[in-house]
Amino acid sequence: MATPTPATSAMSATPATPATTKDEFVMPVLVPCSHPTPWPPDCFDDIVSVIVGEEKKAFRVHKGVLTYHSAFFAAALDGKFKEGVTQIVELPEDEVSVFQVVYCWLYTGRLYNPPEHPPSSSPSTAAEHFAGAEQVPLFETLICKVFVFADMKIIPELKNKAVDVLHLVTCTNWTFLNHQAHYIYSNTIDGSPLRKVITDFAAKSLGCESFIKFSRGGALYPTAFCLDVIAAIHSQGGKWDHIGREGWAKIDRCLYHDHSGPGGKLRRSHTTA
Ligand SMILES: [Zn+2]
């Protein structure tokens, strides 16, 4: 059974490549999320400002969209703090590149915009079709950062979307998340769905030989990740699963979803309880 290959760059993930360049793999049609968060019906009212990063990049966003999805923004913009008065939220420690992805998601429900014009209206090859339909122009590390942003700002549906896109990229690239392991374990807590994704990806696809080969040298994998992989293997009866690329592609993504609903409503129900 083929195992994922290691990423080639030490600092960033390899860009997504058309799946059909490797084994003519075609992403199967997946079962949609069993508990999707409904999109807000009427929230395009007031405009607020979100100032991001050291460069103080300003984004103008509908307040209703932010406060519907995010408990953090609901607390800031509907509360009695400075942000509630100015209707300006400053995020100096967040990255503009991450918020640009969030901004795209807030208005499209996607983490990226698909190509405006596919390569061909009637693709002649599977690769050409794939390039137009599924190619994800986001690196794995950026997707992980979007998940962490959603986690910190309490936006469950954005976490789910990041998990879905990360899963898609791992399937299409068939490249293990070697260089994301430290980031994931440094920016999430025990039990995080993102930790479960990378742990299951290892336990169900790598195999012992690859795991040792990739971790040799000790720099790639945090200790907590290694322990989680051992626990996952134990839960699998003490053996690596080897479900392969197609098996990984068909895995139920809801295993890694947060189905608690829109974050803003969570915050309001909590504060009014
Ligand atoms: Zn789900």
Query: For residue 166, how far is the Cα from the chain centroid?
Result: 5
Cα torsion angle, 98, 167, 152, 258, sign: positive
Between vectors from CA 96 to CA 259 and to CA 141, what angle results, nearest 5°?
A: 60
248 within 8 A of 204, measured Cβ to Cβ:
yes
Residue 255 C-alpha to ligand 1 middle, in angstroms? 7
Q: Per-residue pLDDT for 127 more than 80? A: no
Residue 34 C-alpha to ligand 1 middle, in angstroms? 5
Look-up: residue for tokens 């600092």? 11
Residue 107 C-alpha to ligand 1 middle, in angstroms? 20
Q: Is residue 169 part of a domain?
A: yes
Between vectors from CA 153 to CA 64 and to CA 266, what angle results, nearest 5°?
A: 65
Mean of pLDDT over the chain:
83
Residue 157 C-alpha to ligand 1 middle, in angstroms? 9
The two three-digit tokens of residue 78, written as one number: 């509907």
Residue 169 C-alpha to ligand 1 middle, in angstroms? 18
Residue 50: the pLDDT is 98
Please state, in angstroms and rounded to a whole number, the distance separating the CA atoms of residues 124 and 106. 34
Q: What is the pTM of this model?
A: 0.84
Q: Is residue 171 part of a domain?
A: yes
Residue 41: the pLDDT is 76
Residue 232 C-alpha to ligand 1 middle, in angstroms? 21
Residue 240: the pLDDT is 87
Q: Per-residue pLDDT for 188 more than 50? A: yes
Q: Is residue 223 part of a domain?
A: yes
Each residue's pLDDT tens digit, 39-72: 887 888 899 999 999 999 999 999 999 999 999 9
Q: Is residue 42 part of a domain?
A: no
Q: Which domain holds residue 220?
A: 101-116+132-272
Look-up: residue for tokens 């795209």? 104
Residue 125 C-alpha to ligand 1 middle, in angstroms? 32
Residue 72 C-alpha to ligand 1 middle, in angstroms? 22
The per-residue b/e assignment along 210-248, b for 16 or more CB within 10 angstroms, e otherwise, is: bbeebbeeeebbeeebbebbeebbeeeeeebbebebeeb
Please state, in angstroms and rounded to a whole number, the distance separating the CA atoms of residues 91 and 94. 6
184 within 8 A of 198, measured Cβ to Cβ:
yes
Q: Per-residue pLDDT for 264 more than 90? A: no
| Range from 52-61, 110-119, 143-152, 179-188 carrying the lowest mean pLDDT | 110-119
Q: DSSP H helical segments within the chain, as ranges?
A: 63-69, 71-78, 82-86, 96-108, 126-133, 140-152, 156-173, 181-187, 193-205, 208-215, 223-235, 244-249, 263-272
Residue 215: the pLDDT is 74
Residue 5: the pLDDT is 64
Residue 196 C-alpha to ligand 1 middle, in angstroms? 14
Q: Is residue 72 part of a domain?
A: no
H or E element that contains 62: strand 57-62
Q: Is residue 33 part of a domain?
A: no
Q: Is residue 34 part of a domain?
A: no
User: What domain count does the chain have?
Assistant: 1
| Range from 5-14, 58-67, 96-105, 146-155 carrying the lowest mean pLDDT | 5-14
Residue 19: the pLDDT is 39
Q: Is residue 5 part of a domain?
A: no
Each residue's pLDDT tens digit, 190-246: 999 999 999 999 999 888 888 888 777 666 789 999 999 999 999 999 888 889 899
**Closest residue by Cα to residue 104 from 133, 67, 65:** 65
What's the Cα-to-Cα distance from 77 to each of 64, 158, 188, rounded to whole Å? 10, 19, 25
Residue 259 C-alpha to ligand 1 middle, in angstroms? 6
Q: Per-residue pLDDT for 271 more than 90? A: no
**Closest residue by Cα to residue 102 from 140, 58, 158:** 158
| Range from 89-93, 136-140, 179-183, 257-261 carrying the lowest mean pLDDT | 136-140
Name residues whose C-beta falls within 8 Å of residue 212's C-beta, 6 or more positions apart in sequence.
none
Residue 114 C-alpha to ligand 1 middle, in angstroms? 22
Residue 242 DSSP class: -
The two three-digit tokens of residue 180, written as one number: 């994301």
In a 10 Å sphere around its CB, with 0-12 CB exposed, 13-18 middle and 19+ buried, how is residue 49 labelled? middle
Residue 109 C-alpha to ligand 1 middle, in angstroms? 15
